[in-house]
A and B are shown apart, each in its own frame.
Chain A
């Protein structure tokens, strides 16, 4: 049976409440923007298929609640993620400062080789800006993470951000695949994953290797 896609990447959006995670996702999945704010409860996801170097890549993007009270629910989703978008609001200093905490969260909960990206959202609201682009860059360089400023409202850099993250994941995956096909690569191979490791990207990697 012909598959409708070649790869599945699971991405995660995290960041403080109200920085625009849902809006970014809404912009990416529906190409629309809703001015009213409805805070996300628990967790939700959207799926969009993109074309990456001739490969159909399905992105399952998990949108998490920024609010503290949902933290336990959301952290459970870190583990399965292959890419994480860290979102802050350029008009909100606090949300920027909290990026460091979010990164710590990732280090504690996500798999080590997860791809990350920092998004400074709401860059259309220049008059209310509290965090300069340079500070965003600075932070990103500090953590060796890619950075881009976005506007879900004006549809600025949203596509770019997701494509970039997806491309990075794909590159990393192909690199691993090469190592795996090379016997000296050392890893025991994709066909026999351990039971506890079921959700690791490795499983998905195996799917891709079939094609």
Chain B
């Protein structure tokens, strides 16, 4: 049992087996007893122990109580100190905090300044850039931009504004490019405006240069000594400020777009060239100013290009210039051609020609080929001749319209001399005559001669300075002058003849043309003198106005015939006249005296023309009289009427035989009356046997009388006789006569039938 207690005592836990053994044994009381004993034992031991330690315990408690009070004291003290400390350090802590903050700020500031210093050049550069752009100094601006982009920006950190600036750079670059382009456009506009002035100045210089002679230069020098040299531009191209262009070129070079730029420039200029080539004022033929402006503009344009070519820089290449010029000069030539072809004012033509000459010379100075232009001048020369002729047609028409066509009569030496001054007339005979002297020609001759000279002067004005040789000029002048006379003047003459002109005036015109023709040699001499070439007389002037003269002569003939007709229309034959009045009809005598009067007034006419006139008149008379006799409307003719007509014809024959004008073949005019005479002779002579015998035989007395005509007339006679003798008894010889008449008529009819 003890064991178990020991065990329980020995083992702090795991008391199970012990309790089990107790539980299973019998000795429970014993055991509880033991346990009680044990407990009493332990209680005794504890009591002993407690007695032993009691004093110490009380002391300790006492001491502890003491400590407790001390601790309390200490606690108070410490609390106090703590409060004190707390109170005193509070301000300090605040200051310390402030200090810390200030230090931090200081550090921050330093860092910022450092950074800022790095940024500063960037910003100044940027602002410089801005101001450069603003001041349109694009080239430096571009340089600055470059620096900004490649040097300054990388140095500065990745700030937002930096990014902004970098993003701004291409925009700026584009802006500069655009602005420089705008400058270029301004420049282009500017030179378009200025190029006429440039051209004008260049032309002026060429003109001065051409007009330069020693005397000229000296006199100019004298003049300019007093004056200071003009400070205006010396060369035409100095009128234009090329710097925008060069700047622009630089800028594009920097931008690496030089070629693009050159291309752009060229295409722009080519477009401008096209504009320049279209005359701004529409009609150039209105005034010289239009042409002048046009040429100035064209010339100015190419002078500037040429200057750019010589100035280098590759903006303009020789090929390009020549190519553009080639295109332009053709256009210029065609524009001028169309416009000048409409000009009708010779003075304007001259001015245009001078202007073109000057243009050509200036082109030569600038080394530009002139090619189609000289040809144009030649074409214009032809047109000029036409224009002049047109003008002189007007002059001639005036002269002819106002001409009196009467021989010039002079009253005194002064007047005589003034005519002789105007016209080369070999007046030896006239010289000795007393005043008033009478020239054989009318004032038409002098006026026309003077006008032809004027024409030659005007004509030569065009060829002046064209660089033609004297011989060629003279030849062409001769050609034009004779063309003027033979075409324009002769044309005016023909037109004049269409007007009803009095005969005598017609005659005077014929005479006048002769004098004019003879004077052509003098005109050629005149041409030779003023062109300084040798006299050429090979060209026959001869029949320049022959056509006109023929016209006039024809007109004279027509007129005479018309007058003859008018007289014959007054004819008033009484076809049943019993007895002729014994004298010629009044219209015949009137007519013949009128004709002889007219023919004497034709004295001055060349013989040929007078002969033609008188032939025409006599032929007309004969034809009309014969027609009268055979007129089918006249049914009967009495022998009295026949004798009257015969008498009239005899009057006419006398007139014809009297050689009214010289130069006729003997009896020539009478031939016109021959057939009428034979007819009349046959009828009045009653010579039928001879007629019928000789029919068909050459050389007969009545060869010109056809059986038909003879029969016609005989019928009429028969009608008249029948009428007059209706109521009277026929005498024997009258019966015979009637019988014979019938026989002859029968024979004649037979002959007619044979013929047909």
Contacts and interface: CB of A to CB of B under 8 A. Distances in A.
Interface of A: 1-4, 8, 36-45, 47, 58, 60, 73, 76, 80, 193, 195, 198-199, 203-204, 207, 210
B417 to A, nearest CB: 25
A36 B401 contact: yes
Interface stretch (B124-132, B137-145, B155-163, B586-594): B586-594
Nearest to A73: B597
B405 A38 contact: yes
A203 to B, nearest CB: 6
B401 A44 contact: no
Contact of B631 (A1, A43, A45): A1
Contacts of A44: 502-503
Given A42-B504, A42-B597, A76-B593, A1 B570 contact: no
A195 B647 CA distance: 14
B753 interface: no
A58 B570 contact: yes
B406 interface: yes
Q: Classify the interface of chain A: helix, strand, loop or mixed.
A: loop
Contact of B569 (A39, A47, A80, A207): A47
A47 B563 CA distance: 10
Residue in B404, B505, B575, B583 with the greatest tally of chain A CB atoms within 10 Å: B583
Interface of B: 401-402, 404-406, 501-505, 563, 566, 569-570, 572, 574-575, 581-583, 586, 589-590, 593-594, 597-598, 601, 631, 633-635
Nearest to B636: A1
Contact of A199 (B404, B575, B586): B586
A27 B398 CA distance: 23
Contacts of A80: 586, 590
A38 to B, nearest CB: 6
Contacts of B505: 38, 41
12 contacts: A8-B570, A8-B572, A37-B404, A38-B505, A39-B404, A42-B504, A44-B502, A44-B503, A60-B570, A80-B590, A195-B583, A199-B590
B404 A43 contact: no
Given A36-B402, A41-B502, A193-B581, A198 B589 contact: yes
A34 to B, nearest CB: 9
A38 B502 contact: yes
Contacts of B406: 39
B589 A199 contact: yes
B354 to A, nearest CB: 39
Given A38-B505, A203-B586, 8 more contacts: A8-B570, A38-B405, A42-B598, A42-B601, A44-B503, A45-B566, A47-B569, A193-B581
A1 B627 CA distance: 14
A174 to B, nearest CB: 19
B525 to A, nearest CB: 34
Contact of B597 (A3, A40, A43, A193): A43
Which of A41, A73, A199 has most B Cβ within 10 Å? A41
B590 A210 contact: no
Contacts of A199: 586, 589-590
B601 to A, nearest CB: 5
Contact of A40 (B502, B575, B583): B502
Contacts of A60: 570
Contacts of A45: 563, 566, 594
A207 B587 CA distance: 13
A36 B563 CA distance: 23
Nearest to A192: B581
Contacts of A37: 404
A55 to B, nearest CB: 14
A152 to B, nearest CB: 16
Contacts of B598: 42
8 A-B pairs with the lowest CB-CB distances in the bound complex, closest first: A41-B504, A1-B634, A1-B633, A42-B601, A47-B566, A198-B583, A42-B597, A207-B572
Given A1-B575, A76-B593, A80-B590, A195 B633 contact: no
Nearest to B572: A207
Contacts of B404: 37-39
Nearest to A199: B586
Contacts of A38: 404-405, 501-502, 505
Contacts of B574: 210
Contacts of B634: 1
Contacts of A2: 633
A4 B586 contact: no
Contacts of A58: 570
Nearest to B406: A39
B659 to A, nearest CB: 20
Contacts of A207: 572
A199 B586 CA distance: 6
A37 B401 CA distance: 10
Contacts of B569: 4, 47
Nearest to B500: A30
Contacts of B583: 195, 198
B541 to A, nearest CB: 29
Nearest to A58: B570
Given A36-B402, A38-B404, A47-B566, A3 B504 contact: no
A204 B587 CA distance: 11
Nearest to A49: B569
Given A42-B598, A195-B583, A3 B570 contact: no
A167 B594 CA distance: 27
Contacts of A73: 597
B470 to A, nearest CB: 42
